[in-house]
């Protein structure tokens, strides 16, 4: 009984503290800077592998996920509308699947990914302590430091290059006020990323394969209004 009473008292105190906290209202001209930890989780699908210009008839690559820090900056054009630039980079391994995995290809590419994304956001309830928002925009993805991997393709002189990608992006999230300037953020994005990997100097000569990466990006972090 005492434990129940104490828990109720704590919940009441926390509720009163939240009600007493000053409102954090966004205004036109505000800058919102967030630091997040994100998980980039590809929703991938690959085309068939072309070897020497010929269609092998076999699909088979997947892309692993990565958890990294991210910085994003939002400029509020009005109480409800903002523009957000998302900055960060991740590292991924492209792995063989299905038929090609059975042939012993294993990992085939290591690459770093720089995907700056610009979204237009609408913020609901701009004067509330809990502020959900949605956004849509455009993404540019640049792949760099690509390396050929695996026991079959990784031989001296083997190289791979991944094409850059332009695609659409969508997001939804919420800011939860801690005080007038600081807030906690939860965010999810879907980004359309398509690329083609071009191999040369491998044991099979030149080769290429298309891949739709299309990740969901889950994030949690803390932000400050300036």
Per-residue burial over 149-167, b = 16 or more CB atoms within 10 Å of its CB, e = otherwise: bbebbbeeebebbbeebeb
Q: Which residues of the chain have pLDDT under 70?
A: 1-24, 102-103
pLDDT tens digits, one per residue of 211-225: 899 999 999 999 999
- State residue 22's pLDDT score: 52
DSSP 102: H
Which residue in 223, 203, 205, 210 sits closest to 44, CA to CA?
Answer: 210
3-state DSSP assignment of residue 5: helix
Range of the domain at 154: 2-225
pLDDT of residue 74: 97
Cα distances (Å, whole numbers) of residue 49 to 9, 34, 102, 144, 179: 64, 40, 15, 21, 54
Residue 23 CA to residue 3 CA, distance in Å, equals 32
Q: Residue 15 has what pLDDT?
A: 47
Number of domains in the chain: 1
What DSSP string describes 168-179?
EEEEEEEEEESS
Would you say 164 and 134 are in contact if contact means Cβ atoms under 8 Å apart?
Answer: no
CA atoms of 66 and 99, how far apart (whole Å): 25
Distance between CA 47 and CA 211 in Å, rounded?
6
pTM of this prediction exceeds 0.85: no
> For residues 219 and 173, what is the distance between their CA atoms, to the nearest angstrom?
9
pLDDT at 25: 81
CATH of the domain at 190: 2.40.160.20
């Amino acid at each position: 009984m005492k434990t129940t009473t104490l828990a109720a008292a704590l919940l009441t105190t926390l509720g009163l503290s939240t009600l007493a906290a000053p409102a954090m209202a966004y205004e036109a001209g505000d800058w919102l800077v967030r630091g997040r930890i994100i998980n980039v989780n590809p929703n991938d699908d690959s085309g068939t592998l072309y070897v020497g210009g010929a269609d092998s008839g076999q699909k088979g690559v997947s892309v692993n996920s990565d958890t990294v820090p991210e910085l994003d900056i939002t400029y509020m054009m009005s109480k409800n509308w903002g523009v957000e630039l998302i900055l960060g980079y991740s590292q991924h391994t492209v792995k063989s699947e299905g038929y090609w995995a059975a042939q012993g290809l294993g990992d085939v590419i290591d690459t770093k990914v720089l995907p700056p994304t610009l979204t237009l956001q609408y913020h609901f309830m701009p004067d509330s302590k809990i502020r959900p928002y949605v956004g849509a925009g455009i993404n540019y993805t640049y792949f760099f430091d690509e390396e050929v991997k695996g026991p079959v393709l990784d031989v001296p002189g083997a190289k791979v290059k991944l094409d850059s990608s332009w695609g659409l992006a969508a997001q939804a999230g919420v800011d939860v006020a801690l005080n007038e300037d600081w807030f906690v953020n939860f965010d999810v994005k879907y980004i359309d990323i398509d690329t083609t990997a071009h191999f040369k100097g491998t044991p099979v000569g030149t080769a290429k394969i298309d891949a739709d990466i299309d990740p969901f990006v889950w994030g949690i972090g803390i932000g400050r209004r300036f």
